[in-house]
Structure 1
Amino acid sequence: MPHADIVVVGAGAAGLSLTHRLCAGPGSGSPSVVLVDPPPGALRPPPRTWCYWEPPGGEYDSVLSASWERLRVRDAAGTATVAEPGRLRYKMLRSDAFEALVDARLGTAANVRRVEATVESARDAPGGGEVVAHDSGGGRLVLRARWIFDSRPPGRLPPARTTLLQHFTGWFVRTERPMFDPAVADLMDFRTPQPSHGLSFGYVLPLGPREALVEYTEFSRSMLSAEGYERALRHYTGEVLGLGAFSVSAVERGVIPMTDGRFPHRAGRSVFRIGTAGGATRPSTGYTFAAVQRQSRTVAARLRDGRPPRVPPPYRAWPRAMDAVMLRALDSGRVHGAEFFPGLFRRVPAERLLRFLDGTGRLYEDLLVGVRTPVLPMLRTVAELPLLARGHGPAVPFPHFPRTPEQEETDR
């Protein structure tokens, strides 16, 4: 007999968002749900930051760390372009605040329970699917359900013509003197030494005049060593930003796939992939959270209505095609990222550009963005793409960063 109508694997953005939308009040006839996530330890990711843009008044506004009405991009020479994206706000949400919000809802939901276990597999079984896991004591656990939604990162990226990694390390800093403008977020600051392949930039999200998240980010084929990120951040905070003395309260690290490979939305008759595993990451930018919300809304609505689930593609065919061109142009060196992105922000109205980066623009809007890119290199790339084979995706695309002493202490 099934343990639930639905099992959701993983309590990251995708798993929490879908479970949150499936919550029901006492006495509801909504489907029963089991949310499975690892117990505290090395397999549970540390707190992280999700950013997205939408109008004010969003459903998570009450737990935002900050939001900004103005966005700034600096080219390699330091020339700044400040964009005011009309109705949109750039929003920063910490994963621990989001989880606390969802946990409060789960505590009152009659149809949801949460299980701490490490999942080994999620697969089809007679009458639906089954999740095989083990608990913190090593005991074997089998959960059966009609439908399974698996948000675990895949062990290998899908075959692709172009695969880059967006990898970064950030510090939550507090300076001795006021150094930040809380009204402006720096999306890309190209006053960083550029790597021989790909691009790098700084990223500054002010939380107050003396507090900010400061990150060093690269788009490239491989990651740096821990010492490499440390050197890059020391250079950016000291030589570029001139922050002076500051303390670091937390460290954030991550790696995001940027690929034109096609992520399958199903892993069986009853097993679906969601989140990054289901293609929710925008290949050309790495943004994921907004697409996860669109995906989870659609899936939850069908399940609540008693219809067979369907995980919709987070992005239409046209944005995916433009992503493939942009990634190939960056990877081949036909366009120089430190010139390309500042140029877009100078030439394209901010609200239109943000819709393009989020994959929600209309076709004519995306075309208007496209003609503001280096046309000849892009056309050469368009002609080349059909001739390129899709190579095997790299294994272990989401490596685990070493956990900090503070994270280990929290686990204990």
Structure 2
Amino acid sequence: MTYADVVIVGAGAAGLSLAYRLCAPDGRVPLSVLLVDAPPGPLRPPPRTWCFWEEPDGEFDAALSASWQRLRVRAADGSPTVAVPSPLRYKMLRSDAFTALVESRLATAVGFGRVELTVRAVRDAAGGGGEVVGEDARGRRTVVRGRYVFDSRPPQQLPAARTTLLQHFTGWFVHTERPVFDPDTADLMDFRTPQPRHGLSFAYVLPLDARTALVEYTEFSRDALEPAAYERALDHHLGEVLGASPYRVSATEHGVIPMTDGRFPPRVGRSVFRIGTAGGATRPSTGYTFSAVQRQSRSLAAALRAGEPPRTPSPYRARSLAMDAVMLRALDAGRVDGAAFFTGLFRSVPPARLLRFLDGSAPLREELLVGLRTPVVPMLRTVAELPFRARRPAPDPPVSSIPLPLPNPHPSDEE
């Protein structure tokens, strides 16, 4: 049996972020940290892309793939709204670059260890602390114990909720034969896509240069699609809307993110905590997670390194979550047109204020000002309805990320 002060389960964004901060060189209380990673195979998350906004000179800037000062939203008729949310920048971080940056610190950290296990249980241990029970590469039962255990694995079951939607998407990294993309502008939402009966859809374009970009098709709706449906939507948007054919697909991403007003408890035992999406770090109204993961890991690490019990407040204020619950219900009930809703916000709200609102970091005055820019009557009707809606069990749990080996429908002459 192995023991550490802190045991972290999972080496995704949440697990690595907490390890990174716990192993910083200036901690007042020396801690031993053990990271329990899944063995190579399907339990490990595939490479993925995280995006967030913050001011320049952030702690992960050296690992960024790109960042943009200009953001654009296109309405269903193609009319653009361009925003410059100075001093904020929209940043793109690939998981492999983030992992390399974090592991450069962990490699020299005193008291840090790592073990590969197929985890079967995470629970409080008899006699105090927490324990992780799993199997090593040879199938031998292994127990790891710690004073505190932080579990970053995706939730196996979503909590009961009044509204549960999914943000599901497939993205292609594409290279075109001729210049198509504006490398100075990120398209957050392009609503020139067929809209589902419930929710909304949009394309998302992050250009790395004039010929290379990550292009995603995204829906907010009750159910995910078959893989071929994402392929058709992406091929249509690239070819018919952007005029990017012929193009070459170099990599793919697929994800399903819960958008729910269900409550994710950050503490599930005396000494066992959940972090990341399972600990409430995903913003219900947008699906953004990375910035909240950083707030969550800073708070936990600061307490632990000061010799104090872990602090487990939600990464979002209660009023932000209440506003999200209203928006999700109004969107699911069809009371608001999703494309018009988000386009209207970007047209009428100062961009830095809107991004702070979407991130859950806006002060009360700014949240109220943004709220006044939403469709007031449908929102008030939803506010009146919500207290009488029961929280119902969620459907089958989504898979947080599934790699799809998609073919290249439009190979270029370079291949």
TM-score interval for Structure 1 and Structure 2 normalised by the shorter chain = over 0.9
Deviation, 1:340, is 0.6
Residues 400 and 296 of structure 1: CA distance in aligned 2, closer, same or farther (over 3 Å) = closer
CA contact (8 A) 1:176 1:246 kept: yes
1:136 aligned partner, one-letter code:
A
SS in 1 for 2:270: coil
* TM-score, normalization by structure 2: 0.95
How many angstroms apart in 2 are the aligned matches of 1:287 and 1:376? 27
TM-score by length of 1: 0.96
CA spacing shift, 1:127–1:198, aligned 2, 3 Å: same
Would you say the 8 A contact 2:201–2:218 is kept in 1?
A: yes
Deviation at 1:386, TM superposition (A): 0.5
Three-state SS of the structure 1 residue aligned to 2:99 is helix
Partner of 1:33: 33
Judge which range, 374-383 or 36-45, deviates more.
36-45
In structure 1, C-alpha distance between the alignment counterparts of 2:183 and 2:140, rounded to whole Å? 49
Match of 1:165 in 2: 166
Going from structure 1 to structure 2, the CA distance change for 1:315 and 1:32 (only over 3 Å counts) comes to same
Q: Which runs of 5+ in 2 are unaligned?
A: 408-415
Residue 298 of structure 1 deviates from its aligned partner by 0.5
For 1:200-229, what per-residue CA distance to the aligned partner results, in whole angstroms no more than 9, with x for missing partners? 000000001110000000000000001111
| Pairing 1:285–2:286 present | yes
Q: How does 1:298-317 map to 2 (within 5 A)?
A: 298-317=299-318
Please say which of residues 172-181 and 113-122 is displaced more in the overlay: 113-122
| Map of 2:411 onto structure 1 | none
Aligned partner letter, 1:308: P
CA RMSD of aligned residues (A): 1.6
Aligned to 2:145: 144
Identity of aligned pairs, percent? 70
SS at match of 1:110: coil
TM alignment of 1:62-101, pairs within 5 A: 62-101=62-101
* Residue aligning to 1:373: 374
Structure 1 CA distance for aligned equivalents of residues 398 and 252 of structure 2: 21
Structure-2 change in CA distance of 1:402 and 1:298 (3 Å): closer
Contact 2:254 2:401 in 1 (8 A): no
Q: Give a deviation string over 1:362-402, Cα, whole Å, max 9, x none.
A: 01100000000000000000000001000012232226635
Structure 1, gaps ≥5 residues long: 407-412
Matched residue, 2:133? 132
- Comparing 50-59 with 308-317, which one deviates more in the overlay? 308-317
Once residues 26 and 84 of structure 2 are traced to their aligned partners in structure 1, the CA distance between those partners, rounded to angstroms, is 44
Counterpart amino acid of 1:379? L
Q: CA deviation at 1:137?
A: 2.2
Q: What is the CA deviation profile of residues 98-137 of structure 1, one whole-angstrom value per residue up to 9, with x for unaligned ones?
A: 0011111110001111111111111001221110011222
Work out the CA distance in 2 between the residues paired with 1:104 and 1:317: 37
Distance 1:24 1:124 in 2: 27
- Amino acid across the alignment from 2:287: G
CA contact (8 A) 2:78 2:192 kept: yes
Structural mapping, 1:336-375, within 5 Å = 336-375=337-376
Number of residues paired by the alignment?
Answer: 406
1:28 CA displacement: 8.2
Runs of 4+ in structure 1 displaced over 6 angstroms?
Answer: none
Give the equivalent residue in structure 2 for 1:409: none
